[in-house]
Structure 1
Amino acid sequence: MDIVFVSPTAETNGDGTQNSPFSNISAAMQKAKEIKSINPEANILVNILPGTYYLSESIKIDASLNGLSIKGTDASDVIIKGAIPLNLKWEKFNESIYVTSVEAGLEFDQFVVNNNPQILARYPNYNEGGHYWQGYAEDAISKERLESWKNPEGAFFHALHGGRWGGFHFEITGVNEDGTPKLTGGHQNNRGSRPHKEYRMVENVFKELDAPGEWFLDKTSSKLYYWPTENVSVENATFEVAVLKDLIQVTGTIEEPAKNITISGITLENTARTFMEDFEPLLRSDWTIYRGAVLFFEGTENCKIENSEFANLGGNVIMASKYNKGLQVIGNHIHDCGASAISFVGDVSAVRSPSLNYREFVPLEEMDTIAGPKNELYPRACLVEDNLIYRIGRTEKQTAGVQISMAMDITVSHNSIYDVPRAGINIGDGTWGGHILEYNDVFNTVLETSDHGSFNSWGRDRFWYPNRKIMDSLTTANPEMPKWDAIKTTIIRNNRFRCDHGWDIDLDDGSSNYHIYNNLCLNSGIKLREGFKRVVTNNITVNNSLHPHVWFAKSEDIFKNNIVGDTYQDVGLLGWGKELDYNLFPTEESMMKPQIYGMDKHSAFGDPLFIDPCNLDFGVTKDSPALNIGFKNFPMDQFGVKKAKFKAIAKTPEVPVLKDPTSNNGKASPVVAWLRNNIKNVESEQEQSAYGLNTDQGVIVLRVWKHSPAVKGNGIKKGDVILQSGDVKISTIKDFFKIMSKSESDTMNLVVMRNQTEQEITIHLK
Structure 2
Amino acid sequence: MYFIFFMACPHLVYSQGEIQINPLIRMFYVSNMGNDQWTGSLPAPNSRGDDGPFATLEHARDVIRRLRQISPDNQFTVLVRGGVYRLNETLTFGPEDSGTESNPLIIRAYDKEKPILSGSRPVTNFVTHNGKIFRADLKGTSVEPYVFRQLFAGGKRQTLARFPNYDTRDPIGSGFLYVADSIGGDSKTKFKYSTGSVHSWAEPSNAEIVIYPGPNYWNNIIPIAGIERDQKIITLAGNTSYSIATGDRYFIQNLLEELDSPGEWYFDRMGKILYYWPADDRSLGTVTIPVLKSILEIKGKKYGNKYYGATSYIRIEGFTFEGCESSVIVINGAKKIVIAGSSIYNAGRHGIEIQDGFKNSAVGNDIYDVGGVGIKVTGGDQKTLTPGNNRAENNYIHHVGVFDKNSRGIECRGVGNVIAHNLISSTPRIGILFDGNDHLIEYNHVCHVNQETQDSGAIYSGARDWTKRGNIVRFNYIHDSGGYGRNSAQEPWQSPFYTWGIYLDDWSSGTEVYGNIIADTTRGAIFIHGGRDNIVENNIIIDGGTSGQMVYSAWRPDSPTAQKFLPLMFSKVQEIGYTKYPLLSTITDMATGAKMSGNRFVRNIIYYKDKKAPLYGIYNDIDLETTVSDHNVMYHEELPLLVPFMKVPANLQWSVWQDKGFDQHSIIADPLLTDPINGDYTLFPDSPALKIGIKPIPFEKIGLYKDPMRASEPIKK
Verify same fold: TM over 0.5: yes
User: CA shift at 1:604, angstroms?
Assistant: 1.0
User: CA shift at 1:506, angstroms?
Assistant: 0.7
Structure 2 Cα separation of the partners of residues 268 and 122 of structure 1: 28
Q: Is the 8 A contact 1:308 1:331 kept in 2?
A: yes
Query: Who is 2:277 aligned against?
Result: 227
Quickly say closer, same or farther: Cα 1:648–1:62, change in 2 above 3 A.
closer
Aligned to 2:616, what secondary structure does the other structure show?
coil
User: CA shift at 1:568, angstroms?
Assistant: 0.6
Query: Who is 1:100 aligned against?
Result: 136
Structure 2 Cα separation of the partners of residues 520 and 147 of structure 1: 50
Residues 45-75 of structure 1, C-alpha deviations (whole Å, 9 max, x = no match): 2322111011111111111110133222268
Structure 1 Cα separation of the partners of residues 658 and 478 of structure 2: 28
Q: CA RMSD in A?
A: 2.7
Query: Who is 2:662 aligned against?
Result: 599
Residues 145-179 of structure 1, C-alpha deviations (whole Å, 9 max, x = no match): 55511112333322224111122121335557977
Q: Is the 8 A contact 1:76 1:267 kept in 2?
A: no
Structure 1 Cα separation of the partners of residues 428 and 529 of structure 2: 22
- Specify the code of the residue in structure 2 equivalent to 1:46: V
Query: Who is 1:310 aligned against?
Result: 344
Quickly say closer, same or farther: Cα 1:302–1:195, change in 2 above 3 A.
farther
User: CA shift at 1:30, angstroms?
Assistant: 2.5
Alignment of 1:534 onto 2:495 = no
Q: Is the 8 A contact 1:389 1:415 kept in 2?
A: yes
Query: Who is 2:163 aligned against?
Result: 123
TM-score by length of 1: 0.70
Q: Is the 8 A contact 2:478 2:518 kept in 1?
A: yes
Aligned to 2:397, what secondary structure does the other structure show?
strand
Q: Is the 8 A contact 1:608 1:626 kept in 2?
A: yes
Aligned to 1:153, what secondary structure does the other structure show?
helix
Q: Is the 8 A contact 2:379 2:388 kept in 1?
A: no
Quickly say closer, same or farther: Cα 1:199–1:145, change in 2 above 3 A.
closer
Alignment of structure 1 residues 602-613 onto 2, 5 Å: 602-613=665-676
Quickly say closer, same or farther: Cα 1:302–1:12, change in 2 above 3 A.
closer
Structure 1 Cα separation of the partners of residues 233 and 357 of structure 2: 46
Alignment of 1:52 onto 2:70 = no
Query: Who is 1:697 aligned against?
Result: none
Select 1:246's aligned residue among 294, 306, 310: 294
Alignment of 1:583 onto 2:632 = yes
Structure 2 Cα separation of the partners of residues 396 and 13 of structure 1: 44
Select 2:150's aligned residue among 84, 105, 110: 110
Residues 577-627 of structure 1, C-alpha deviations (whole Å, 9 max, x = no match): 442111112257314363253211111102112111233111222232223
Aligned to 1:303, what secondary structure does the other structure show?
strand
Quickly say closer, same or farther: Cα 1:637–1:159, change in 2 above 3 A.
same
User: CA shift at 1:452, angstroms?
Assistant: 0.7
- Specify the code of the residue in structure 1 equivalent to 2:368: H
User: CA shift at 1:233, angstroms?
Assistant: 6.2
User: CA shift at 1:96, angstroms?
Assistant: 2.0
Percent identity between the two aligned chains: 28
Q: Is the 8 A contact 1:416 1:650 kept in 2?
A: no
Select 2:377's aligned residue among 341, 344, 364: 344
User: CA shift at 1:520, angstroms?
Assistant: 0.5
- Specify the code of the residue in structure 1 equivalent to 2:431: G
Residues 495-542 of structure 1, C-alpha deviations (whole Å, 9 max, x = no match): 100113311111111111111111100022111111111111111110
User: CA shift at 1:651, angstroms?
Assistant: 4.7
Q: Is the 8 A contact 1:549 1:571 kept in 2?
A: yes
- Specify the code of the residue in structure 1 equivalent to 2:219: G
Query: Who is 2:61 aligned against?
Result: 29
Aligned to 1:634, what secondary structure does the other structure show?
coil
Structure 2 Cα separation of the partners of residues 128 and 176 of structure 1: 32
Q: Is the 8 A contact 2:177 2:197 kept in 1?
A: no
Once the two structures are overlaid, the 10-residue window that deviates more, 597-606 or 51-60, is: 597-606
- For structure 1, which runs of at least 5 residues remain unmatched after alignment? 275-292, 351-371, 462-481, 653-766
Query: Who is 2:390 aligned against?
Result: 382
Aligned length: 574
Once the two structures are overlaid, the 10-residue window that deviates more, 140-149 or 503-512, is: 140-149
Once the two structures are overlaid, the 10-residue window that deviates more, 36-45 or 568-577, is: 36-45
Alignment of 1:572 onto 2:620 = yes
- For structure 2, which runs of at least 5 residues remain unmatched after alignment? 1-24, 43-50, 100-104, 181-190, 302-306, 484-498, 556-593, 608-613, 642-653
Alignment of structure 1 residues 132-171 onto 2, 5 Å: 132=172, 135-138=175-178, 142=193, 145-146=197-198, 148-171=200-223
Alignment of structure 1 residues 628-707 onto 2, 5 Å: 628-643=691-706, 649-652=714-717
Aligned to 1:8, what secondary structure does the other structure show?
coil
Structure 2 Cα separation of the partners of residues 184 and 16 of structure 1: 53
Alignment of structure 1 residues 173-184 onto 2, 5 Å: 180=233, 183-184=236-237
Q: Is the 8 A contact 1:9 1:51 kept in 2?
A: no
- Specify the code of the residue in structure 2 equivalent to 1:523: D
Query: Who is 2:4 aligned against?
Result: none
Structure 1 Cα separation of the partners of residues 691 and 639 of structure 2: 16
Quickly say closer, same or farther: Cα 1:211–1:333, change in 2 above 3 A.
same
Q: Is the 8 A contact 1:520 1:539 kept in 2?
A: yes
Aligned to 2:661, what secondary structure does the other structure show?
coil
Aligned to 1:324, what secondary structure does the other structure show?
coil
Structure 2 Cα separation of the partners of residues 345 and 630 of structure 1: 37
Alignment of structure 1 residues 96-495 onto 2, 5 Å: 96-103=132-139, 104-132=144-172, 135-138=175-178, 142=193, 145-146=197-198, 148-172=200-224, 180=233, 183-184=236-237, 192-194=242-244, 197-232=247-282, 234=284, 237-253=285-301, 255-272=308-325, 274=326, 293-321=327-355, 323-345=356-378, 372-373=382-383, 380-405=388-413, 407-427=414-434, 429=435, 431=436, 433-461=437-465, 482-483=466-467, 485-486=468-469, 489-495=470-476
Alignment of 1:505 onto 2:502 = yes
Q: Is the 8 A contact 2:35 2:53 kept in 1?
A: no
Alignment of 1:85 onto 2:148 = no
Once the two structures are overlaid, the 10-residue window that deviates more, 440-449 or 220-229, is: 220-229
Select 1:560's aligned residue among 589, 602, 612: 602
Residues 319-351 of structure 1, C-alpha deviations (whole Å, 9 max, x = no match): 112x2000111111111211101112369xx7x
Structure 2 Cα separation of the partners of residues 7 and 512 of structure 1: 53
Quickly say closer, same or farther: Cα 1:33–1:179, change in 2 above 3 A.
farther
Q: Is the 8 A contact 1:161 1:196 kept in 2?
A: no
Quickly say closer, same or farther: Cα 1:175–1:75, change in 2 above 3 A.
farther
Query: Who is 1:69 aligned against?
Result: 106
Q: Is the 8 A contact 1:75 1:309 kept in 2?
A: no
Once the two structures are overlaid, the 10-residue window that deviates more, 526-535 or 569-578, is: 569-578
Structure 2 Cα separation of the partners of residues 255 and 98 of structure 1: 50
Structure 2 Cα separation of the partners of residues 71 and 148 of structure 1: 53
Q: Is the 8 A contact 2:126 2:134 kept in 1?
A: no
- Specify the code of the residue in structure 2 equivalent to 1:512: S
User: CA shift at 1:302, angstroms?
Assistant: 1.1
Q: Is the 8 A contact 1:131 1:448 kept in 2?
A: no
Structure 1 Cα separation of the partners of residues 318 and 119 of structure 2: 17
Quickly say closer, same or farther: Cα 1:561–1:160, change in 2 above 3 A.
same
Q: Is the 8 A contact 1:54 1:82 kept in 2?
A: yes
User: CA shift at 1:221, angstroms?
Assistant: 1.9
Quickly say closer, same or farther: Cα 1:294–1:174, change in 2 above 3 A.
farther
User: CA shift at 1:457, angstroms?
Assistant: 0.6
